[in-house]
């Protein structure tokens, strides 16, 4: 069993993932049913209003239902919809928490931290939402928007921009939309900006990560034969030429960078493929935070990830500053939280046409800065 021990785990728990998913609806009041210690982390990470029952030990002993009822009742009196996210201890004590409020008053998401990672929490939140499909709703849903994602705002803007170019209306954004819009029903088809946060709503047509765009647009064409696909594909083609041009310039001076990648599975696979395609890179280390994929092992064990990265002696790390901190000589571009190498407040995409450019631009600048620093040192 010892091999399962984890040192410095790099990924949040299910409760945080569920809260992040629900908090994407600003008109939904999200209550964390737990202690202040559980509340502070998602509150500081997400930077959006969250509520809590701030449980005390005595309430665990004598029951938390009265406290939950009081908090839900007070918040529901505002007339806004309410969601309750459960945490570890109230999930263990066997109380029937759903008796604290009616189904009409609040939605209950049982996502204690011990049940899994952030993506599993997000999945539980989606399961509790059970959004209806409105067969007559036009357009497509945008999936894979999550407040935990460094690029969620940029991804949303970029995916919406591409859909505007295609002439396809947006139905529901999972999850950065209004609760009211969700209640109107989701469209029957969905595309994603980050497939690691999958809502499971509607027929999934594909991702809008740069390399996936042609296939996804093809599938959209089968359902929306009158869309202007060429405008998006032409823009993508032009951008790809720019990427090859910029990378060719780099490769005239330097050998292809050895790259280490650690991110959610969707971004990890994407980043690896991009570095191989445009830089001709060797990517000997790839770790997925949320789930394993073909040739991409899963790990949230910082010690394991950092040891593998150090052994590979990469020129570039695409991951979080957890990895960058352990391998200071390598260039770094942040694609997964936390990224404490920079102030990140603007909307930067990793999805879409601009997202592809953002990754290549970020990698190139990081590599060039590292070469400059090395030159100065010498």
Instruction: Please give, one letter per residue, the 3-state secondary structure of 246-260.
Output: HHHHHHHHCCCCEEE
Q: Which is nearer to other proteins, 26 or 49 (CB)?
A: 49
Q: Is 347 in the site for other proteins (CB under 8 A)?
A: no
Residue 140 backbone class (left: φ over 0; alpha: ψ -120 to 50; beta: rest): beta
Binding mask 55-84 for other proteins (x = CB under 8 A): xxx--x------------------------
Contacts of 365 (CB under 8 A, 6+ apart): 333
Nearer residue to other proteins within complex by CB, 102 or 369: 369
CA distance 156 to 216: 16
Q: Which residue has the tokens 């032409």?
A: 234
**Residue with tokens 């001076």, as numbered in its chain:** 253
List the x/- string, 95-124, binding to other proteins by CB under 8 A.
Answer: ------------------xxxxx-------
The C-alpha atoms of residue 155 and residue 213 are separated, in whole angstroms, by: 13
* 7 interacts with other proteins by CB under 8 A: yes
Q: Is 9 in the site for other proteins (CB under 8 A)?
A: yes
- Any contact of residue 328 with other proteins (CB under 8 A)? yes
Residue 89 phi, psi dihedral angles, 5° rounding: -65, -45
- Pick the closer one to other proteins by CB: 9 or 297: 9
Residue 47 is a binding residue for other proteins (CB under 8 A): no
Per rule CB under 8 A, is residue 234 in the interface with other proteins?
no
User: How would you list the strands of the sheet with 82-86, edge to edge?
Assistant: 51-52, 29-33, 82-86, 106-110
35 binding other proteins? (CB under 8 A): yes
Interface positions with other proteins (CB under 8 A): 1-2, 4-16, 34-38, 40-41, 45, 54-57, 60, 88-89, 92-93, 113-117, 300, 302-303, 321-322, 325, 328, 338, 340
């Amino acid at each position: 069993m010892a091999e399962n021990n984890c040192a410095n785990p790099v990924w949040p728990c299910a409760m945080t993932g569920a809260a992040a998913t629900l908090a994407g609806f600003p008109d939904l009041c999200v209550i964390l049913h737990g202690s202040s210690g559980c509340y502070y982390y998602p509150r500081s990470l997400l930077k959006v209003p969250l509520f809590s029952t701030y449980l005390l030990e005595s309430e665990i002993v004598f029951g938390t239902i009265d406290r939950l009822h009081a908090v839900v009742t007070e918040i529901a009196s505002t007339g806004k919809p309410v969601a309750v996210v459960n945490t570890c201890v109230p999930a263990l004590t066997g109380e029937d928490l759903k008796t604290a409020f009616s189904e009409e008053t609040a939605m209950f998401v049982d996502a204690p931290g011990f049940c899994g990672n952030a993506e599993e929490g997000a999945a539980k939140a989606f399961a509790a939402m059970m959004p209806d499909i409105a067969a007559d709703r036009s357009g497509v849903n945008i999936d894979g928007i999550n407040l935990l994602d460094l690029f969620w705002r940029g991804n949303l803007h970029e995916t919406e921009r591409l859909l505007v170019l295609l002439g396809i209306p947006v139905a529901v954004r999972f999850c950065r939309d209004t609760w009211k819009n969700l209640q109107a029903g989701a469209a029957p088809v969905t595309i994603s900006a980050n497939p690691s946060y999958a809502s499971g709503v509607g027929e999934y047509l594909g991702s809008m990560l740069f390399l996936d765009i042609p296939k996804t647009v093809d599938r959209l064409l089968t359902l929306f034969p009158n869309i202007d696909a060429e405008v998006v594909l032409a823009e993508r083609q032009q951008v790809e030429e720019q990427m090859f041009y910029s990378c060719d310039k780099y490769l005239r001076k330097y050998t292809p960078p050895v790259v280490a990648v650690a991110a959610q599975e969707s971004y990890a696979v994407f980043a690896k493929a991009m570095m191989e395609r445009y830089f001709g890179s060797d990517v000997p280390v790839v770790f997925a935070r949320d789930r394993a994929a073909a040739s991409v092992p899963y790990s949230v064990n910082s010690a394991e990830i950092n040891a593998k990265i150090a052994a590979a002696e990469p020129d570039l790390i695409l991951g979080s500053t957890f990895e960058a901190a352990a391998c200071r000589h390598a260039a770094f571009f942040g694609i997964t939280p936390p990224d404490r190498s920079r102030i990140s407040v603007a909307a930067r995409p990793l999805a879409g046409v601009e997202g592809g450019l953002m990754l290549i631009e970020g990698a190139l600048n990081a590599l060039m800065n590292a070469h400059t620093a090395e030159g100065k040192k010498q």
